[in-house]
Chain A
Amino acid sequence: MSWATQDPESFRQSLRSWLDTHCPQAMRDGLNTEATICWGGKNWEFTSKHQKLWMQNAAEVGLTTPRWPAAYGGAGLSREQDKIYLEELARINARMPLLSFGIWMLGPALLAFGSEAQKQKYLPQIIRGEQRWCQGYSEPGAGSDLANVQTKAEDMGDHYLINGQKIWTSYADKADWIFALVRTDRDAPKHKGISFILIDMESEGVSTRPIQLISGASAFCETFFDNVKVPKENVVGEVNKGWDIAKYLLTHEREMISGNNQGLTSGRPLGAVLAQTAGEERLSDASLRAAAMECEIDALSVGLTLERYKDQAEAGAGVGDASAMLKYMGTELNKQRYELMMSAGGSEAIDTDGAHGDLAMDWLRSKANSIEGGTSEVMLGIISRRILGLPG
């Protein structure tokens, strides 16, 4: 399949016919919620044979990672083609074939900072959905003050010895590997003694414990490292320069969180969602209608901004600190959308066995959006200092 060289229109046509035969009907239900996402990994249990088939079909032609280079198994699509790919998925209401922290976070970091050996070892497994990653950034004493990580990695000559604790490690209990920030130099200024390291979760001394949240079952875990041996080749980039990678990934994560909120840019009008939730008569409720209209106008504009930034990035101008804006605006809007859907749903929405299924749980879950990946207040701080240049 040589999609990478096709012009937009022929790409769209050949993609359409490929989707016709390779995307199972059962995967065209528009569901991309936490419960229906295919995460992949060594121990992944597919929820249906269709889910498995869809992931494998997409992986085979690199469409689990449309922008990644073909050399590692990605589809090597251009920015414009990627946009068409997302449009075509939305057109047939298809689920994403595979989503993971490997795709969102580690892959981009390896592509930018990893060695050739690291790329060849990890990227193909991520693309094929065989390896599930989690992110080890936050610590009990280093949430928003991320550079304050204390988990230490001691140089033992032929390996590192890791001791410490991570928190809010999403899906750590289900992950095969973790990419983590560890302190490799205790004497350096806090940003300068951090390294970015890859740890096999099956290593001796690694343990995890899920954290129960207000939404019931939780994606979040605590992860403990007790004398864990890690080969030195698992450091990505230079030792003690992990903060550069962390910053790069934080920017990436902010864009991902803002852009990936279901519905925000997927073209699904909030009005349709609300009508589904409320039954038509409720949309005539003047205050709900007014709030929904404003939310929709704001969400469409944030979506256009995301597109504009992607185009900028494609043209070689990085988005940089402005990603804090996307994260802030995107997550605050997502919370608003869930508030509106809950209002529209009424008593059915607060009934956990009610007609709206997981809506209440998703609403509770959305409250974490403006905390995880850096709080809204941290984002506003980044903007006020680094973009507006206000004094610290």
Chain B
Amino acid sequence: MLAESARGFLDADAPVSKLRKMRDDGKTHDPELWAEMAAMGWCGVLVPEDNGGVDMGHAAAGVIAHELGKTLAVSPFLSTAVMAATALKQVDSAASAERLSAIAEGRLTYALALDETSKFAPENSQLACEKSGNGFRLNGQKSFVVDGGFADRVLVLARSGEGPEDLTLFDLPADRAGITRNDQAMIDSRNAARLEFDNVDATGDDIIGAAGDAMTVLRPALQAGQAALSAEMTGLAAGAADMTVGYLKERQQFGRPIGSFQALQHRAAHLWCEMEVTGSAILHAGRMLDSDPGNAAMAVSLAKARAIKTAKLAVIEGVQMHGGIGMTDAFDMGFFMKRARVASEWLGDYGYHAEQVADARGF
């Protein structure tokens, strides 16, 4: 039911043509759409009812993300409503309660500043946080901060000591003195930014969780984001595959619909199989996060790895089976291909997640 109402709304208010228009207008954020999503309760999908949310859980967040993926809707849903909300829920403070309410109401957007090099590796963060008087001083840079160009606040992962996980997570307003934001021109026309931190002052109140213990707060948030991103990727795979199968039924060559050719039928059927199997892994990840979050790591990595493989297949096959027009900008398939590529890198690529599964399976 959630899926159907989401689909109806997104088909009407956030079709792929909207992404095209935003790209052509040079826009990467749509506050009106975000407000409508808040009105439907999506921004509070993981926010406790006490904080004004609907608290429907990760499986439900996955359903919404899947539908967002289908039409390539542009929104900070994952970084704000999924990841920041999950991080804030880990800490019991008046400030986090207030921020959770603001997220649920659609008044506050977040971005996560994690990566520093071209690959996802939060534990390798080098952005320095040094003691300075009663507080801290942050110096360094972050890249591929998704939604970082417009977000109101940023969760910043900083190194506070030598140990591999001696990291501290700061929750800062994005306009804090010393933070410079430069948009990155991502191929999928979504927003991402490089952030420079030049003697940025922070206090203990800006720390979320405990100093030197970022991962306790961040890990659940990352897992929630990875699971929801996987769901978004199966959504985009489904969107691309629907277009492709539709085309196979319509397009005539040699006097027949091309979907009657066995070579194409088998490719389409194989793609469907891969999507069906991946759907199970996504569902499983959402359920594990809801029922047994302490043991959800492998389920989440399994979902992300499968989602990457499947989304990649869906867009490659989408272009191939559409032939030449699949390569044109006038046609939407390219948007799906670009989003799949960016989503594959965000929050860990195939190799990263395959290694997590391999560890868990004793390889």
Contacts and interface: CB of A to CB of B under 8 A. Distances in A.
B268 interface: yes
Contacts of A380: 265-266, 269-270
Interface string A364-392: 00000000000001011101110111111
A390 B248 contact: yes
Contacts of B66: none
A325 B273 contact: yes
A328 B355 CA distance: 26
Interface centre among B257, B262, B273, B305 (most CB of A within 10 A): B273
A162 interface: no
B361 A388 contact: no
Contact of B357 (A297, A384, A388): A297
A301 B302 contact: yes
Contacts of A377: 266
Contacts of A298: 277, 306
Contact of A271 (B259, B305, B362): B362
Contact of A269 (B264, B273, B283, B363): B363
A278 B260 CA distance: 46
Contacts of B248: 390
Contact of B257 (A269, A302, A391): A391
Interface stretch (A37-45, A211-219, A224-232, A288-296): A288-296
Interface centre among A274, A290, A300 (most CB of B within 10 A): A300
A384 B321 CA distance: 14
Contact of B280 (A296, A297, A305, A384): A305
Contacts of B363: 269-271, 274, 283, 289, 292-293, 296
A283 B268 CA distance: 34
B245 interface: yes
B98 interface: no
A297 B305 contact: yes
Interface residues of B, number: 35
A308 B280 contact: yes
B249 interface: yes
Interface string B346-357: 000000001101
The binding surface of chain A is classed by DSSP as: helix
Contacts of A283: 363
Interface string A108-134: 000000000000000000000000000
A269 B361 contact: yes
Contacts of A328: 273
Contact of B277 (A292, A302, A384, A392): A302
Interface string B318-349: 00000000000000000000000000000000
A172 B311 CA distance: 45
A304 interface: yes
Contacts of B355: 293
The binding surface of chain B is classed by DSSP as: helix
Contacts of A389: 245, 249
Interface string B179-223: 000000000000000000000000000000000000000000000
Interface string A257-293: 0000000000001111010000000010000011011
A390 B249 contact: yes
A387 B256 CA distance: 20
B358 interface: yes
B249 to A, nearest CB: 7
Interface in A309-368: 322, 325, 328-329
A315 to B, nearest CB: 14
A292 B355 CA distance: 11
Contacts of A289: 358, 363
B276 interface: yes
Given A390-B265, A392-B260, A300 B272 contact: no
B226 interface: no
Nearest to B363: A271
A301 B306 contact: yes
Nearest to A296: B361
Contacts of B269: 379-381, 383-384, 387-388
Contacts of A274: 363
Contacts of A308: 280, 283
Nearest to A306: B280
Given A308-B280, A391-B249, A383 B272 contact: yes
B284 interface: yes
Interface string A160-197: 00000000000000000000000000000000000000
Contacts of B280: 301, 304-305, 307-308
B278 interface: yes
A322 B276 contact: yes
Nearest to B259: A390
Interface string B277-296: 11111011000000000000
Nearest to B281: A301
B215 to A, nearest CB: 24
A329 B245 contact: no
Contacts of A271: 358, 361-363
A292 B257 CA distance: 39
B259 A391 contact: yes
Contacts of B362: 269, 271-272
A390 B354 CA distance: 34
Nearest to A322: B276
Contact of A294 (B264, B283, B354): B354
B270 A297 contact: no
Contacts of A383: 269, 272-273
Given A269-B363, A383-B269, A389-B249, A301 B358 contact: no
B272 A325 contact: yes
Interface centre among A387, A390, A392 (most CB of B within 10 A): A390
Nearest to A270: B361
A3 B76 CA distance: 50
Contact of A304 (B264, B284, B309, B354): B284
Interface of A: 269-272, 274, 283, 289-290, 292-294, 296-298, 300-302, 304-305, 307-308, 322, 325, 328-329, 377, 379-381, 383-385, 387-392
Given A304-B277, A325-B272, 6 more contacts: A270-B363, A293-B357, A296-B357, A300-B357, A381-B269, A389-B249
Per CB-CB distance, the 7 closest pairs between chain A and chain B, nearest first, are: A271-B363, A384-B265, A383-B269, A305-B280, A269-B361, A390-B259, A380-B269
5 contacts: A269-B363, A301-B277, A304-B281, A305-B277, A391-B257
